[in-house]
Amino acid sequence: MLLAYLDCFSGISGDMFLGALIDAGVSPKLFEETVAALNIGARIEVSRVERNGIAATKVDVFAGGEKDLPREVFLEQKSAHSHPHAHDHAHEHGRRDAHTHREPGHAAPQEHKHVHDHGHSHGRHLSEIRRIIQAAAISDGAKATATRIFETLGAAEAEIHNTSIEKVHFHEVGAVDAMVDIVCAAVGAEALGADEWVCSPLNVGSGTVKCAHGTLPVPAPATLKLLQEAPIFSSGPAVELVTPTGAAIVKVLVSRFAAFPAMRVEKSGYGAGTCDFKEHANLLRLTVGESGDGVHTGSETITVLEANLDDLSPQVLAYASEKLLAEGALDTFCVPVQMKKGRPGCVLTVLCQTADADRLTKMIFAETTTLGVRRREERRQTLARRWETVRTLWGDVRIKIAGMNGGISNYAPEYEDCRALAEAHRVPLKQVMEEAVRVYADGRS
């Protein structure tokens, strides 16, 4: 089973997570294409920096030609030199529209800082964020993950502010750079292909932060809510080290918290935070490898949902299955059966993570005509899976690779990638799929 381990000795933020993914092998081009697919007027810049002598990857988000800086930078700048026209509306996910003339990779500000209030253009409700994500040309799995991260973040904010999630106005976490961080995080995590995400205890930092709701203690209330039941500690500089966006990514992706797990390390990467602390390496480390000694396949407990249907249109059933997959189901399928009084029907089966079972059960009731949903837990074993990208005559295609004991068991081209290229270039789908397999096989030989 392929493990991905997040070592959060200096916390985690959205841009640090993206940097670590790139440093561990995820293509920067994938993120550039994802940002373009969002169509929100943003771009990213990827650079190599050093943090306490360690080389790392830094990801910056540009919106409207300007770079948004993390909240930690704003606080350091504000303490060094107070700007008479500054507006304290730092984004909850850890960035602020504070622009300063400074050398890349250094937090220490030089003269001529400019802080601009762009908050009026950043406001979004969850419904709008969902629409943007659903319209993007990314996989259904990545759409579902990104949506869950935003919903998780929104639920925490709603509880903190005593309102409903649909009424939360994402004036901070809905900013352009947060959209980029969260959607790219979902796409990048999918591309990495880890079977399980594990996380270390998180260093949350200390002190106070300025946000739209005034001065708050570190960790911020939303961050603390998201990290409920997670092991946390405080060490190093008195700044915010875990942002709400970083906490939401951990909440959705990570299945357990532990010390460094037993694994055969395949690759690792470092994602850099913007601040360059004197005695503290501001980095997020990501390590990827096969788990344990003698582990041949992955094993996990999943929930199986089943419903009998004999009065539902096949078109509606197909729609319901697609929606369940988009909302996080691991798999859905239907088996034809003969119901009472000789009526033909089918059994709808949904495989999902246990944490998603209640939500998907409600969706089955809403989207089908069933009056009851059965539920049980089962153990499943899975081969370790990962993705590689090959260049065909018509464009890039991802190859899903399944392995056992370090070897490759089977591989197949990603259908959605092949379909998009077939439609764009007016060539048969089977020809694109055959070419992708040929290119990958030639690369192995």
What CATH number corresponds to the domain at position 369?
3.30.70.1380
* Residue 216 three-state SS: strand
Please state, for a pLDDT cut of 90, what percent of the chain lies above it: 61
- Same domain flag for 21 and 73: yes
Q: What is the pLDDT of residue 79?
A: 37
* Residue 73 three-state SS: helix
The pTM assigned to this predicted structure is 0.60
- Same domain flag for 221 and 308: no
């009998």: which residue's tokens? 308
**How far is residue 404's CA from residue 406's CA, in Å, rounded to a whole number?**
5
**How far is residue 198's CA from residue 285's CA, in Å, rounded to a whole number?**
12
Contact 51, 276 (CB under 8 A): yes
Residues in Cβ contact with 149 at an 8 Å cutoff, skipping those fewer than 6 apart: 182, 185, 186, 248, 249, 251, 252
pLDDT in tens, 87-136: 233 333 333 333 333 333 333 333 333 333 333 344 677 888 999 999 99
Q: Residue 28 pLDDT > 90, yes or no?
A: yes
**How far is residue 432's CA from residue 438's CA, in Å, rounded to a whole number?**
10
Buried/exposed 63-93: b ≥16 CB within 10 Å, e otherwise = beeebbbbbbbbbbbbeeeeeeebbbbbbbb
Average pLDDT for the chain: 83
Contact 422, 315 (CB under 8 A): no
**How far is residue 291's CA from residue 388's CA, in Å, rounded to a whole number?**
20
| Number of Cβ atoms within 10 Å of the Cβ of 304 | 17
**How far is residue 86's CA from residue 146's CA, in Å, rounded to a whole number?**
32
Q: Which of 249, 269, 291 is the last residue of a domain?
A: 291
- Same domain flag for 6 and 92: yes
Q: Which of 350, 382, 414 is the last residue of a domain?
A: 382
Where residue 199 falls (left for φ over 0; alpha for ψ -120 to 50; beta otherwise) is: beta
Phi/psi for 158 (5° steps) reads -65, -40
- Same domain flag for 216 and 285: yes
- Same domain flag for 343 and 418: no
Residues in Cβ contact with 143 at an 8 Å cutoff, skipping those fewer than 6 apart: 133, 134, 136, 186, 326
pLDDT in tens, 160-182: 877 767 766 554 444 788 899 99
**How far is residue 282's CA from residue 236's CA, in Å, rounded to a whole number?**
10
Q: What is the pLDDT of residue 168?
A: 66
SS3 content of the chain, % helix, strand, coil (to 5): 35, 35, 30
pLDDT in tens, 54-63: 999 999 999 8
Torsion angle defined by CA atoms of residues 43, 49, 51 and 54, in that order, rounded to the nearest 10 degrees: 130
Strand residues in 143-190 grouped as ranges (E): none
44 membership: H or E segment, kind and range: strand 42-51
Q: Residue 72 pLDDT > 50, yes or no?
A: no
pLDDT in tens, 413-439: 999 999 999 999 999 999 999 999 999
For residues 47-76, give the mean pLDDT: 76
Q: How confident is the model at residue 298 (pLDDT cuts 50, 70, 90)?
A: low
pLDDT in tens, 353-393: 888 899 999 999 999 999 999 999 998 887 777 888 999 99
Q: What is the pLDDT of residue 32?
A: 96
- Same domain flag for 278 and 319: no
- Same domain flag for 350 and 234: no
- Same domain flag for 22 and 120: yes
- Same domain flag for 202 and 330: no
- Same domain flag for 243 and 169: yes
Q: Which of 336, 362, 382 is the last residue of a domain?
A: 382
Q: Which amino acid is at 166?
A: E
- Same domain flag for 230 and 132: yes
**How far is residue 49's CA from residue 67's CA, in Å, rounded to a whole number?**
17
- Of the candidate ranges 10-19, 191-200, 208-217, 292-301, the one whose mean pLDDT is the lowest: 292-301
398 membership: H or E segment, kind and range: strand 396-404
Overall number of domains in the chain: 3
- Same domain flag for 170 and 263: yes
Domain span at residue 434? 384-444
* Alpha helix stretches (DSSP H) within 300-388: 314-326, 357-367
